[in-house]
Amino acid sequence: MTDARPSYVHGTHPEEQRRLEDMNALINAHSLAALAPVPGERLIDFGSGLGQFARAVARVTGAPALGIERSDAQRARAVALAEAAGETALAEFRAGEATAPPLSASESGSFDIAHARFLLEHVPDPLAVVRAMAAAIKPGGRVVIEDDDHGMFRPWPEPPGVMIVWHAYVRTYDRLGNDPYVGRRLVQLLAQAGLSPTRSTLLPFGASSGDPAFVPFVRNLADVFRGARAPILGSGGVTEDEFELALRSLAEYEHRRDAALWYTASWAEARKP
Ligand SMILES: C[S@@+](CC[C@H](N)C(=O)[O-])C[C@H]1O[C@@H](n2cnc3c(N)ncnc32)[C@H](O)[C@@H]1O
């Protein structure tokens, strides 16, 4: 596996890994509550990133989780974090493509839950991933997908210049051949993969001024922009000055006492007949 992934807008450099790690700290409790795994359930996590969510699930189920992740850098960091937490027994992180996870004959079709978060937005053929997720679980098992619909971002008051950069950022997905609005398609994708959809909901992430999570959410957005600087500027829709203005604007936004910043992820779940 290599990390030369022009199709992955965020990259896997250390600052981006720190952002992803911090984002997991902000949202994993919400994702875990919505997933509601029960003891004994075995999870396979597609595009497992730094592995924090796979470990969080395994802590509840008591069954080791399997993460499929194509990036060497992400897997190395996932292992380092698991080691630091003394939780290497909770999850295995295996090199692989989400469309063709490297599962043995006895593993294929054996998992209780196949989960993917913020993965489908980064692949050109999300249905191929959902089909692979369906193949990994046993009959009666669940496929659970959380993903982005980039139309769901709502900061108010609007930080000056930020939405221009946001729209240029969203367009970077299109230009890579990926769908920035895949979140609204989740139930359809599950049905197209031959699964029986059972649930669709939204997970609100965000905070108001005065909430301890407000500054971390604002910083997460600034870090998303920084990490995607080259593709955003490469879009031609934003100048370097506009990009820097947006970052300054977000730095000031942290201090506002009257702001709210909302982002809503799409959630969908289906059973395998
Ligand atoms: C935005 S991160 C999300 C990580 C994790 N699911 C989370 O929520 O923290 C997306 C991850 O998917 C991985 N990824 C992207 N395309 C992939 C593919 N085709 N197969 C396997 N992993 C992939 C990336 O390397 C990255 O680690």
Protein residue with least CA distance to atom 27, ligand 1? 49
* pLDDT(1) > 60: no
Query: What span, in angstroms and rounded, lies between the C-alpha atoms of 223 and 227?
Result: 6
Q: Are the C-beta atoms of residues 161 and 245 closer than 8 Å to each other?
A: yes
Integer angstrom CA distances of residue 145 from 87, 129, 184: 25, 11, 11
Which DSSP letter does residue 100 get? B
Q: Please list every protein residue whose CB sits less than 6 Å from any atom of ligand 1.
A: 8, 10, 20, 24, 47-49, 53, 68-71, 74, 97-98, 117-119, 122-123
Q: Give the helix ranges, DSSP H, for the chain.
A: 14-35, 52-61, 72-84, 126-136, 162-175, 186-192, 214-227, 229-234, 240-253
Among candidate residues 102, 100, 91, 93, the one with its CA nearest the CA of residue 74: 93
Token representation of residue 141: 């098992």
pLDDT tens, residue by residue, 173-219: 988 899 999 999 999 999 999 999 999 999 988 899 999 999 999 99
pLDDT value, residue 39:
98
Token representation of residue 246: 């947006």
Please report the atom of ligand 1 found closest to the CA of residue 98: 20
Q: How far is CA 266 from the centre of its chain?
A: 11
pLDDT value, residue 206:
87
Residue with tokens 């059972």: 198
pLDDT tens, residue by residue, 124-182: 999 999 999 999 999 999 999 999 999 999 999 999 999 999 999 999 998 889 999 99
Domain 14-271: CATH superfamily is: Vaccinia Virus protein VP39 (3.40.50.150)
pLDDT value, residue 147:
98
CB count in 10 Å sphere of residue 189:
23
Protein residue with least CA distance to atom 23, ligand 1? 47
Q: Which range, 10-14, 100-104, 237-241, has the best average confidence (pLDDT)? A: 100-104
Mark residue 109 as left, alpha or beta (left: phi above 0; alpha: psi -120 to 50; beta: remaining). left
Tell which one of 16, 113, 119, 129 to mutate to probe ligand 1, the residue whose CB is within 8 A of the most ligand atoms. 119
pLDDT tens, residue by residue, 247-260: 999 999 999 999 99
Run of H or E including 198? strand 196-208
* pLDDT(5) > 90: no
pLDDT tens, residue by residue, 90-114: 999 999 999 999 999 999 999 999 9
Q: Where are the domains of the chain?
A: 14-271
Centroid of ligand 1 to alpha carbon of 8 (angstroms): 8
pLDDT tens, residue by residue, 45-62: 999 999 999 999 999 999
**Degrees (nearest 5) of the Cα angle 75, 78, 82?**
140
Centroid of ligand 1 to alpha carbon of 76 (angstroms): 13
Centroid of ligand 1 to alpha carbon of 83 (angstroms): 20
Centroid of ligand 1 to alpha carbon of 22 (angstroms): 16
Protein residue with least CA distance to atom 13, ligand 1? 47
Centroid of ligand 1 to alpha carbon of 140 (angstroms): 26
pLDDT band of residue 10 (cuts 50, 70, 90) is confident
